[in-house]
Structure 1
Amino acid sequence: MNRFSRSWALIKASARVLAADKELLVFPILSSIATLIVTLTFAVPLLLSGGLSSVSQNRFPAIYYLVLFLFYIVQYFVIFFANTALVGAATIRLKGGDPTVGDGFRIAFSHFGPILGYSVIAATVGMLLRMVSERSRGLGRILISLIGFAWNVATFLVVPILAVEGIGPIQAIQRSVALLKKTWGEQIIGNFGVGVIFGLIIFGLILISLPIFYLLITAKLIMGVVALVVILVLLFILIGLVQSALNGIYTAAIYQFAVDERTVFFDESMIRDAFVERR
């Protein structure tokens, strides 16, 4: 099975889970809204205080890094909390149960402390990488990007581990690395494939809309242009929400197989092929 076919098969398998529990979309919706609120909460005071002028002049005062670090913590917490709720609910479905939105939030709230601890760790790593990247050039930035990629791979299963095993954030990171190495190696393909498929969908929508835009502009139908823009924005938002939900379901399925638990929604070879064995 080539990468494209495997990615499409993974999307269809994840979509069957999402079709069985459409309410799983609630979690990425709430996460997006909360993320926007957090961003505005930090950005507006910084803008009104003139703090962004220093940043635009490549001057980074200590208060900038302090505010940015706090922003990272809150933002990561919102994302991880919603993802834990999503993965927790998806895990119930993968085990044959019938989860509700309340079940997902119950799981997330029961692991509030570890999620907050992991948010602080992730924020610290993100902050350090950003600080080094801002002072690096060329190969230095490439190296920082590789380190960031390695961190994402190492922590790929942290959220389902937090949702299911109830251990601390540091132990969850260690457990994530151990599970990835234990079975299929370290290079993940499947999740990127999901992104490629949705990227192609968005690209296709743009290609289709371009001649329509041209015709509407030529005919001077301004309201038609506005309507088409609104439709495209709504479609892009919907695509992003579905992709986020499918990624959470896929991560939950990867964890299920990593701990030797089977599910009727995913074929074992499909999940195993999502990893490339390290030579």
Structure 2
Amino acid sequence: MDRLKNSWELVKASARVLAQDKELMVFPFISSLGVILVSLTFALPLFLAGRVENLIEGGGQVAGMAVLFLFYLVQYFVIFFANTALVGAALIRLRGGDPTLGDGFRIAFSRFGPILGYALVAATVGMILKALSRKRSGLVRTASSLLGLGWSIATFLVVPVLAVENLGPLQAIQRSVSLLKKTWGEQIAGNLGLGAFFGILTLAVVLVSLALGVGSIMLLETPWVAVALAVLLVVFLLVSGLVQSTLNGIYTAAVYTYAVDGRSGFFDETLVREAFQSGS
């Protein structure tokens, strides 16, 4: 119960930061739009050429592997670039400043090379994990899942490190691991809290929308209310996703701030300390 309470308080604290800078949601929007455009750029020509199935089934072929690696590289770069801009702007707010969208983009562009290098590393790791996940052995697939989890934990603070510190991608990963050693234990609590909150909220909204939609069709004998509810539900899901992504970025920035200099800006430092206690 204490963990749930702390997670809820972290969600509220993150929301207070977002309330100060609502424009931060622009960065996840750009990231999502970029991912869609990248996916279409790769998928549409392959589909028109009739090679989608060959790429999926024949992943061991050199050409297929090369295309898949390039897709990972471009997609990761878009995501990391937007996240660096978001976290960089959030760090300015957490340290008492008043960030603008321009500040976030300036930080991301200034770290263009390291972000590209980190995307290259992440794409390589992604290819290895994908290859392992395709093995028939259940033990290998389990190992792949564990390695993926370990990679996520190890790189938890890479983006804020890239945004602030003048380090290359490999050094940033090492720095992330070093910082997480200071904040081990329940280091995932905040993200789990955010995920649980938005998951429950989304489920509740979907169930209510379905009930209202079915009820309107049965009572009013017209589908228009259900159609309107469906449109509203889609809008809610899109906005909710943007808010959650933004809050996750703010949370990451706050954890980095706390790990580096022991303060967390808008966050209640006691809650952050409890969520990221030493595991020893």
What TM-score bracket applies, with the shorter chain setting the length? Answer: over 0.9
Distance 1:190 1:107, change over 3 A: same
**Secondary structure of the equivalent of 2:47?**
helix
**Secondary structure of the equivalent of 2:261?**
coil
Counterpart amino acid of residue 66 in structure 1:
A
The C-alpha deviation readout for 1:50-99, integer Å capped at 9, x for no partner, is: 1123256x333332221111010000000000000000000000111000
Corresponding position of 1:211: 211
Q: Distance in 1 between matches of 2:233 and 2:63?
A: 39
Distance 1:93 1:187, change over 3 A: closer
Counterpart amino acid of residue 121 in structure 1:
V
CA drift at 1:216? 3.0
Q: Distance in 1 between matches of 2:121 and 2:190?
A: 26
Corresponding position of 2:51: 51
Corresponding position of 1:265: 266
Q: Distance in 2 between matches of 1:184 and 1:59?
A: 41
Contact 1:189–1:276 (8 Å) recurs in 2: no
Map 1:144-155 to 2 at 5 A: 144-155=144-155
**Structure 1 residue runs without a partner (length 5+):** none
Residue 222 in structure 1 maps to residue 226 in structure 2: no
The C-alpha deviation readout for 1:136-164, integer Å capped at 9, x for no partner, is: 34232222111100000000000000001
Counterpart amino acid of residue 46 in structure 1:
L
Contact 1:153–1:186 (8 Å) recurs in 2: no
How many residue pairs end up in the alignment? Answer: 278
Q: Distance in 1 between matches of 2:86 and 2:122?
A: 19
Counterpart amino acid of residue 192 in structure 1:
L
Corresponding position of 1:107: 107
The C-alpha deviation readout for 1:26-55, integer Å capped at 9, x for no partner, is: 101111111111110011111111112325
**Secondary structure of the equivalent of 1:259?**
helix
Map 1:39-118 to 2 at 5 A: 39-55=39-55, 58-60=57-59, 61-118=61-118
CA drift at 1:261? 4.4
CA drift at 1:3? 2.1
Counterpart amino acid of residue 243 in structure 2:
V
Corresponding position of 2:143: 143
TM-score, normalized by length of structure 1?
A: 0.95
Moved over 6 A (4+): none
Corresponding position of 2:176: 176
Contact 1:188–1:276 (8 Å) recurs in 2: no
Q: Distance in 2 between matches of 1:148 and 1:139?
A: 14
Identity %: 59
TM-score, normalized by length of structure 2?
A: 0.94
Q: Distance in 1 between matches of 2:277 and 2:147?
A: 19
The C-alpha deviation readout for 1:170-213, integer Å capped at 9, x for no partner, is: 00000000011134347522211111111010011012112112
